Structure formats: structure tokens, C-alpha cells
């Protein structure tokens, strides 16, 4: 069947508008819960959320759905997505759910589902759940004496703090480091500053006053100017910017210069390779990663395995061939020695460990390769078109022309976003003027038919 509910990262949409409504959340809870009820034990689902106002809408609806099929619900409150994945395994739960739209504005929300192993559900399982919802979920209900119960786990944040600290090498501390941490007014607003402080850093907190509306607003990993400005103004050694659910990270050095996911992956891969800890002979990333990363890894005798965009596809490739470092240029970094999904804070701690051990300026430690010029632009389209603008002859012609102009000196990637009504146009190559012109022409052609 054609998937209409699940995208590249769960279900996402405008809050209180289909599919992000209480009715759909209720049905999703019933269908997902029913699928994962196996055996005679008490079945458990853990539910976390970020700080969006609409979390108060989606959380009780999901809870009701799971309870209706006989699952006990453990409510975590505001915690990062990787905390949900970790606690799903720690509590031996049958399912984990994170209510978040990640880096999107507060008006949006989403539902990410994890299996009992802490990994996001496969396309096949999501499709089966969606098919069950399509035909109706009345058959999932249990009798009154078999309904589930709900309770809150008061120390969820504390458990995740200890989990993060255990990912930092024993014997190292962050004493003497002044760090700006921007929590995007999101799920990590409590835990991230505490982890850094408990490891010895002087912490300057940004984006730690959520009000239900300000998540990701002018802060976080997609609005890094706030972090960069604070690092320079405060004379800090570096900055860490998380997104709304803290599964991605973007950093900056003492000068405010950005350190993106590609540089983070390069640093971790090189350090782990040197220490004999790197598995798989390289790194798994997506088609968006810079060619400079691929060349840098090649010089180290390592490979870059590319997947389609989406951290879940990176994880699937890592599991298939035994890699333990993977991620996305946007800052989703997956370190399978420590977790099952992207974890911005754990990734940042690996960078901090390298900085402490090197004893050199952050700008020197974090610049592992020179990226090729790369330009990415987003074009918003009318959702009713469902991205069909890419099939228009005018647009297809502009794309073919761009590919011819770039030739072997660059690459072009045009894709529909799986989480927003956007078409992403990316070009990369040695000649920055050329790739800029190619992207401009393609963007213009899309805008003419994008509605």
C-alpha cells in the first residue's frame, strides 16, 4: 500500500490537524500496541515528549489507545528522543514512543515509534500499522478487566543523565572548559546543562526556558546564530546546539565557526580508528554528506557508505554491515556502541573527549577536512501537489541542464522532504559560482510551478 501517514521519521504534521489529531493518535496507539502484544507478560510502552503545547493533546490520546489494548503506559515527560530509546530497552518495554516534531516550529508535532530493541520501526512494520488503522481498530479492544494502567517515571531525566555521562571516557573531565549549550527550548533543557556541569564544565545555558511556543524559535541546531554569538560574547571555548528533541547536534569553535555533522563524524571516526574502536571500516552517512568527508576518510583508508536521507536508513545500513559510527550532515550522529538512535548530547561528549585529550584549541581539533562548496536551498510547495512539481517538464529540463553543466566536476541532488512540504535542492562541486548558478536556475523553475 502507499503510505500516507508515516514519513521518513514517523508521523508528522500541524497539531490538531490531520494526521496530528487526538483521533489519529488514539488509533495509532491501539494499532501499534496491538501489533506488539506478544506472550502473557504485562505489556509496557514508554512515552516521552518535547516541550510543545500540543504534547498535552497527543500524549493522553496515545495513552488511551495503548491502555485500550491492554498495555501499561510509563510516562516520561519532557526527555530527549534518545532517552526514550534507551529507557525502552532499560525498562524491557514492548514499545517506545516520542512525541516530537524535532526541529520543526511549535505548530507542528510528530510521533516516533521504537520497537522493544530501541530501534525505530522498519518501513514494513509502519506500513502494517497504517494498514490496520485504515481498516479500523475496534478489534484491538480488550475487556474491562484487562485494560492497561498509566504511571509517571519521576527519575527519567536522571537515568538519562547517568547514561550520557557513562558515554564519556572515565578518567576525563571537562574542568577548565567554558561551554555554551543551546537546548532549543526543547526536550534537553534540563538534562544537557546538568550533564556538562556534572562533568566539570562551566556552562552557559541558552534556550532553557520553554513555554510551549518557543521550541526551536531563533535557537537550536537550525538557528545556530544564537549559540555562535554567545560563544564569542562570553569568550567560551565552544558551543553546542541541540534541536527540539536533542537527537541532533551542531557545534561551533571558539571563533563561532560552525562544526557540522560531517566534521563531527570525521573527528569521531578518526579518533576511534586510531584507538582501534571503529567498526565496519568506515562511516555510514547519507547522500547529503560533503564529498570532502568522503575524501578525508579515503586518505585514512576508511570508506563512506551512503544511504538515502533519514537517520533510520543510516541505522539500518550500520546494523546490516556492522558499522558503529554513522549520521547525517545535519547533526544526527548515531554511535551504536552507546545507543540505537541519533543522540546529540552523546555525540558532543565524544568531541569534547577529543578536545580534552588533545589540549589544543577547539578550532584545530574539530577541523578534520576542508569541505567542497555545497549549496542547499529549500523550496516550499503547495502540499496538495504532493511534490509532483518535480515531474513537470520545465523542472525536469532544468535539472537535466544542471547535471550537464556540472558534469564530472560536481553532483546534484533534488529530493522531496519526508517531514515538511519542501523540495530540497543541493549542488556540490569545485566551482562555487557554477553550483550557485545551477541551484538558482533549478529553484526558479520549481518556484514557477510550486503553487
Distance of alpha carbon 78 from alpha carbon 406, whole angstroms: 46
Mean pLDDT of 379-394: 78
Phi-psi region of 384 (alpha: psi -120 to 50; beta: other; left: phi over 0): alpha
Distance of alpha carbon 91 from alpha carbon 111, whole angstroms: 20
Judge: domain 6-154, CATH 3.30.460.80: no
Q: For position 8, what pLDDT does the model report?
A: 79
Write down how long the chain is. 451
Q: What is the CATH number of domain 374-449?
A: 3.30.310.50
Q: For position 387, what pLDDT does the model report?
A: 56
Judge: domain 259-343, CATH 3.40.120.10: yes
Distance of alpha carbon 438 from alpha carbon 436, whole angstroms: 6
Q: What is the pTM of this model?
A: 0.90
* Position 383 confidence tier, pLDDT thresholds 50, 70, 90: confident
* Strands, E assignment, 79-166: 95-99, 108-114, 150-152
Give the CATH H-level superfamily of domain 159-255: Alpha-D-Glucose-1,6-Bisphosphate, subunit A, domain 3 (3.40.120.10)
Mean pLDDT of the chain: 95
Distance of alpha carbon 170 from alpha carbon 98, whole angstroms: 30
Q: For position 385, what pLDDT does the model report?
A: 62
Annotated domain spans of the chain: 6-154, 159-255, 259-343, 374-449
Q: What is the residue-wise DSSP string for 49-81?
A: E-S-TTHHHHHHHHHHHHHHTTEEEEEEEE--H
What element of type H or E holds 184? none
Is there a contact between 102 and 184 (Cβ–Cβ < 8 Å)? Answer: no
Torsion of CA 249, 14, 12, 29, to 10 degrees: 120
**pLDDT one-digit tens code per residue, 158-171:** 999 999 999 999 99
Q: Which residues form the catalytic set?
A: 102
Is there a contact between 389 and 449 (Cβ–Cβ < 8 Å)? Answer: yes
Amino acid at each position: 500500500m502507499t503510505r500516507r501517514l508515516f514519513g521518513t521519521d514517523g508521523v508528522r504534521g500541524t497539531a490538531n490537524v490531520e494526521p496530528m489529531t487526538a483521533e489519529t493518535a488514539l488509533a495509532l496507539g491501539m494499532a501499534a500496541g496491538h501489533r506488539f502484544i506478544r506472550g502473557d507478560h504485562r505489556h509496557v510502552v514508554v512515552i516521552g515528549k518535547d516541550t510543545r503545547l500540543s504534547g498535552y493533546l497527543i500524549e493522553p490520546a496515545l495513552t488511551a489507545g495503548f491502555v485500550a489494548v491492554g498495555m501499561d503506559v510509563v510516562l516520561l515527560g519532557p526527555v530527549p528522543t534518545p532517552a526514550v530509546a534507551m529507557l525502552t530497552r532499560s525498562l524491557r518495554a514492548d514499545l517506545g514512543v516520542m512525541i516530537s516534531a524535532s526541529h520543526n516550529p511549535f505548530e507542528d508535532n510528530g510521533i516516533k515509534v521504537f520497537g522493544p530493541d530501541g530501534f525505530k520501526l522498519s518501513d514494513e512494520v509502519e506500513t502494517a500499522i497504517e494498514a490496520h488503522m485504515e481498516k479500523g481498530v475496534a478489534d484491538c479492544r480488550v475487556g474491562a478487566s484487562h485494560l492497561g494502567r498509566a504511571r509517571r517515571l519521576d527519575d527519567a531525566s536522571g537515568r538519562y543523565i547517568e547514561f550520557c555521562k557513562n558515554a564519556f571516557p572515565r578518567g576525563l573531565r571537562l574542568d577548565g572548559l567554558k561551554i555554551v549549550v543551546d537546548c532549543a527550548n526543547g526536550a534537553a533543557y534540563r538534562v544537557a546543562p546538568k550533564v556538562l556541569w556534572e562533568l566539570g564544565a562551566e556552562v552557559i545555558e541558552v534556550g532553557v526556558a520553554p513555554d510551549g511556543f518557543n521550541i526551536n524559535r531563533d535557537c537550536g541546531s537550525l538557528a545556530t546564530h544564537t549559540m555562535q554569538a554567545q560563544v564569542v560574547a562570553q569568550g567560551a571555548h565552544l558551543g553546542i546546539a541541540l534541536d527540539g528533541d536533542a537527537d541532533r547536534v551542531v557545534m561551533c569553535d571558539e571563533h563561532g565557526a560552525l562544526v557540522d555533522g560531517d566534521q563531527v563524524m570525521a573527528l569521531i571516526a578518526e579518533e576511534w580508528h586510531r584507538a582501534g574502536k571503529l567498526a565496519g571500516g568506515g562511516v555510514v552517512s547519507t547522500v547529503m554528506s560533503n564529498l570532502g568527508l568522503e575524501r578525508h576518510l579515503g586518505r585514512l583508508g576508511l570508506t563512506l557508505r551512503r544511504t538515502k536521507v533519514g537517520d533510520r536508513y543510516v541505522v539500518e545500513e550500520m546494523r546490516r554491515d556492522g558499522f558503529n559510527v554513522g549520521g547525517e550532515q545535519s547533526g544526527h550522529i548515531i554511535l551504536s556502541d552507546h545507543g540505537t538512535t541519533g543522540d546529540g548530547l552523546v555525540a558532543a561528549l565524544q568531541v569534547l573527549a577529543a578536545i580534552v585529550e588533545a589540549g589544543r584549541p577547539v578550532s584545530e581539533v574539530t577541523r578534520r577536512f576542508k569541505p567542497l562548496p555545497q549549496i542547499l536551498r529549500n523550496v516550499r510547495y503547495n502540499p496538495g501537489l504532493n511534490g509532483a512539481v518535480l515531474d513537470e517538464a520545465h523542472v525536469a529540463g532544468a535539472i537535466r541542464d544542471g547535471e550537464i553543466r556540472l558534469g564530472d566536476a560536481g553532483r546534484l541532488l533534488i529530493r522531496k522532504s519526508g517531514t515538511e512540504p519542501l523540495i530540497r535542492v543541493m549542488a556540490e562541486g569545485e566551482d562555487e559560482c557554477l553550483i550557485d548558478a545551477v541551484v538558482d536556475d533549478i529553484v526558479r523553475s520549481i518556484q514557477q510551478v510550486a503553487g
